[in-house]
Structure 1
Amino acid sequence: MAHPPAHSQRLSRPVRCAVITVSDTRTVESDRSGQIIQTLLNQAGHRVHDYRIVPDEPSQIGPLCQTLAQEAEVDGIILTGGTGIAPRDTTYDAIAALLEKTLPGFGELFRQLSFQEIGSRAMASRAVAGVLGSTLIFSLPGSSNAVTLAMEALILPELPHLVSQLRG
């Protein structure tokens, strides 16, 4: 299936992102998904403004996202981890409570693409995206395959366009 051409990329500078890995066990050395996000952003010409690993605690995830969204140097926040349904998976709940506008198409498309790769297990993903103030937020699963899929197929092709709409 052919993809339509991307919207004109009106943003004349790299998109500045914060990358947050939500995990009770990962370290900088073992955080493959966080590393993939940073590498793909850099390869696309964008900038990683901040990178952190935080425990899967809504009391830490939410306030950190609010703080980062208020920084003029942050256009987008990309989180990985905590989007499933296990008791410790609380990222979706923390992020959904913050979003002023949601991008339901992101989660729908991500689950559709995931279904093509992993089958019905894709229904358990609570990947979500939206806007807080003038900052984009994407919350992805912790799987490195899921992160690569979301970044390459959905986020990177539209990131400059979405930021230009918000910051226009």
Structure 2
Amino acid sequence: MTEKLLRPMRTRRWPERWLIRLLGAALAAAAYLLFMPWDLRNRPATPTTTQETTPVTGIGVLLLALVLLLLAAYFGHWDDLGWPLLLVAAPPAALMHISFRTHPEPDLPGLWPLAWGFFTLLIAAGVLVAAGVARAFRGEWAKEDDLTLMNPL
């Protein structure tokens, strides 16, 4: 099973390729849901503060970043460079957008789109960097396969 997961995507049959890609997107979404829990009952910590309580912790953010970077490295190494962005960065960005939109009473209605855009850009940049670094560590087989795919003669 492990040797199947450690092969280039283009050498696999298309059902297997798409199953692995769907699994990667599901893992990215599950990591976001696990480490960034939603609490629609946000409330002020004390009656005199404007700060709301939140279930998000620093450890949760770090663990989410670690999972997303590992997934990006896997797909960046074994698949084409555009796939990690779609499979790893898009599910958390979509879930974050839904989370911001379902907040019952926005404190600053004009601020959440900026926060969403900033965090989406941050996630996408991290995913692209991790995928690019992992792609740089591809073996000689990748260079030979790329040359034969470009020039089949």
Q: TM-score category by the smaller chain?
A: under 0.3
Structure having the larger proportion of residues in strand:
1
The structure number with the bigger radius of gyration is: 2
Q: TM-score, normalised by structure 2?
A: 0.27
Structure having the larger proportion of residues in helix:
2
